[in-house]
Structure 1
Amino acid sequence: MQMSVDNEGTARKDHTTDGADGASWGAEWDDEYAPVVRAAGRQIKLWREAAGLTQEELGQAIGYSLGMVSAVERARRLPHPEFLAKADEVLGAGGKLVAMKEDVAEARYPKKVRDLARLEAEATEMGSYNNHNITGLLQTEEYARALFSMRRPAHSEDDLERYVSARLARQEIFTRKPTPTLTFVQEEVTLRRPLGGRMILRRQLEHLLEIGQLRHVEIQVMPTDREDHAGMGGQLHVLKLRDGTAVGYSEAQLNTRLVSDPREVQLLELRYGIIRAQALSPRESLAFIEKLLGEMT
């Protein structure tokens, strides 16, 4: 994670929660996964040369372009699992290229997303308040794709797929054991804004109803007509970790501010507790979402 310093001189860690924004728009191979990316490309090149094939010949044999094979070997592009499987078979690698599949797959996710996923993996409780779109953990694939497609500067098709895959991978938090307690508060406007189109929103609302039935998940709606609202400072997230500590983070345009100071975390927890108290109850919220669905027919 990148370190930043606020105006009081306190060091904090910054990262984006969706992996879509940041100071650099290039490949992020400058972290601990850089050796994985380089090793994958080097191994493919060595096996190709040992087989006496050119990059173009390998590409034709496995159904990929010369440019893709070249980019993979130079560690400019990550090979898809299918690429590794086909190359392994064509080059007679005996499973040695396929064995890199899991490490390469994890390296596909932006570092910023891996940082957040590691925090979520340690969480026993997590609370999330969102005010401009459905939070990432609750998004359907097509809703997430629509959001990333709206980003400016525009993402390339490869980056778009990378970010969508990373977001969906984080959703394993709903099925992992032991199950954490997950609570979400969504502003009413996020349930009405048809990002990507009305059908995408409809399926997103249906997904919320399904997730909301899980015993360890509570989804609440903050009605727009509330006259008292503790969330005017923006969206926030709080996590309680296995070691008993707690962290929080709040999002801005380009970066997320990760908070570990106990006093500040306590403040975020207080605000989140009040926000939940001001919102509709989980039962009322699911009924509210069902009502919205009825209005769309």
Structure 2
Amino acid sequence: MARAENKETAGPTTRLVADIARKMRARKGWTQEQLGKELGYTAAAVSAMETCAQPASDEMLVKLERVLGDGMGIFEQAREYVRLDKYPAQFKNYALLEQKAVGLHLYATLVVHGLFQTEEYARALIGGGYPPLPEHRVEELVEARLARRALFEREPVALIEVVLEESVLRRTIGSEDVMRGQMRHLAECARRRNVTLQVLPLDAGLSGEYAGAYGGMNLIETPDHDRLVYLEPQDESLLIKDPGKVSTYAQRYARIRAQALHPRESLGLVEQLAGEQR
């Protein structure tokens, strides 16, 4: 839904795309209605895009490239950066790192890591958060979150390891049907050759050690083979670059992984839970 306040909060890429689209439309001598017909949208939708009342969706950018791009790839290239405009401010720096990472080592303690969420799970989670978000913002964030999954298909492939607390798998988000779909998706991800999924069981602390007590983390290896840590407590974010601190987090992650179930056992548990959801 187009909203007037979006015009004030639109990011720089969204504004640039709107300006380029408006100028290229004018160069062709088309009205907003004519462009809308070419794209399969209403004139109102084109107007909302051009005024930033409703930022261009990923689908609209694909169509803009076909209709107005003239083979230059402007709108195609803009897709990545328009998605970044839609992310919460505290997440944008990490999103860029995630897209280009050669290695990710992830530990999630409360909900399924965003990179592995289904559309239904993401919508239930984002839509059920506090403070409540307007529906159009929920849809923007869901679209942006799902776009992150392109990392799984990227060349060269990224090595991705994720450890999920067992409580994450047993916490119902949305509905039991949503959780069934989420478990099936996790199982599919776990079967990818570049993905290792492990579950930290509920009884991991029985031995007297519980390495996951400090909360979730994202360890990132950049294309230059630098290592960083990203933390996101509540609505804040922290990107850690200090080598000594990063080393401590990496060691802690290694202990968490060592206390988790073997990948084959973890996949079996996910598959079992997918069958148990009723």
TM-score (norm 1): 0.76
Q: How far is 1:77 from its partner?
A: 2.5
With over 3 angstroms needed to count, the CA separation of the structure-2 counterparts of 1:104 and 1:277, relative to structure 1, is: same
What's the secondary structure of 2:104's corresponding residue?
strand
Whether the 8 Å CA contact 2:94–2:230 is kept in 1: the answer is: no
Q: How far is 1:238 from its partner?
A: 0.4
1:249 to 202, 206, 230: 230
- Confirm or deny that 1:138 pairs with 2:99: no
> Counterparts of 1:243 and 1:59 in 2: how far apart (Å)?
43
Q: How far is 1:116 from its partner?
A: 2.7
- Confirm or deny that 1:76 pairs with 2:53: yes
> Counterparts of 1:85 and 1:168 in 2: how far apart (Å)?
16
1:140-219 aligned at under 5 Å gives the runs 140-219=118-197
Q: How far is 1:64 from its partner?
A: 1.8
> Counterparts of 1:87 and 1:121 in 2: how far apart (Å)?
23
Whether the 8 Å CA contact 1:41–1:73 is kept in 2: the answer is: yes
Whether the 8 Å CA contact 2:14–2:52 is kept in 1: the answer is: no
> Counterparts of 2:151 and 2:253 in 1: how far apart (Å)?
20
With over 3 angstroms needed to count, the CA separation of the structure-2 counterparts of 1:82 and 1:244, relative to structure 1, is: closer
The superposition leaves residues 35-89 of structure 1 with CA deviations (integer Å, 9 ceiling, x where unpaired) of: 3333324444x358x44x4x678768964254x4433232333234665788899
> Counterparts of 1:56 and 1:185 in 2: how far apart (Å)?
50
- Residue 108 of structure 1 is matched in structure 2 by 82
What's the secondary structure of 2:83's corresponding residue?
coil
> Counterparts of 1:154 and 1:25 in 2: how far apart (Å)?
17
What's the secondary structure of 2:219's corresponding residue?
strand
What's the secondary structure of 1:268's corresponding residue?
helix
With over 3 angstroms needed to count, the CA separation of the structure-2 counterparts of 1:271 and 1:47, relative to structure 1, is: same
Whether the 8 Å CA contact 2:127–2:135 is kept in 1: the answer is: no
Q: How far is 1:259 from its partner?
A: 0.7
With over 3 angstroms needed to count, the CA separation of the structure-2 counterparts of 1:212 and 1:57, relative to structure 1, is: closer
Whether the 8 Å CA contact 2:177–2:277 is kept in 1: the answer is: no
- Residue 19 of structure 1 is matched in structure 2 by none
Determine what percentage of the aligned residue pairs are the same residue.
Answer: 34
Aligned-residue RMSD, C-alpha = 3.2
Point out where structure 2 has 5 or more consecutive residues left out of the alignment.
Answer: none
> Counterparts of 1:245 and 1:87 in 2: how far apart (Å)?
37
With over 3 angstroms needed to count, the CA separation of the structure-2 counterparts of 1:151 and 1:218, relative to structure 1, is: same
> Counterparts of 1:103 and 1:270 in 2: how far apart (Å)?
38
> Counterparts of 1:84 and 1:241 in 2: how far apart (Å)?
28
With over 3 angstroms needed to count, the CA separation of the structure-2 counterparts of 1:87 and 1:271, relative to structure 1, is: closer
> Counterparts of 2:169 and 2:262 in 1: how far apart (Å)?
16
Give the counterpart letter for 1:127 in structure 2.
Answer: H
Whether the 8 Å CA contact 2:24–2:68 is kept in 1: the answer is: no
With over 3 angstroms needed to count, the CA separation of the structure-2 counterparts of 1:26 and 1:139, relative to structure 1, is: farther
Whether the 8 Å CA contact 1:133–1:190 is kept in 2: the answer is: yes
Give aligned pairs, total. 266
Point out where structure 1 has 5 or more consecutive residues left out of the alignment.
Answer: 1-23
Whether the 8 Å CA contact 2:33–2:43 is kept in 1: the answer is: yes
Identify the range of structure 1 (185-194 vs 29-38) with the bigger mean alpha-carbon deviation: 29-38
Q: How far is 1:201 from its partner?
A: 0.3
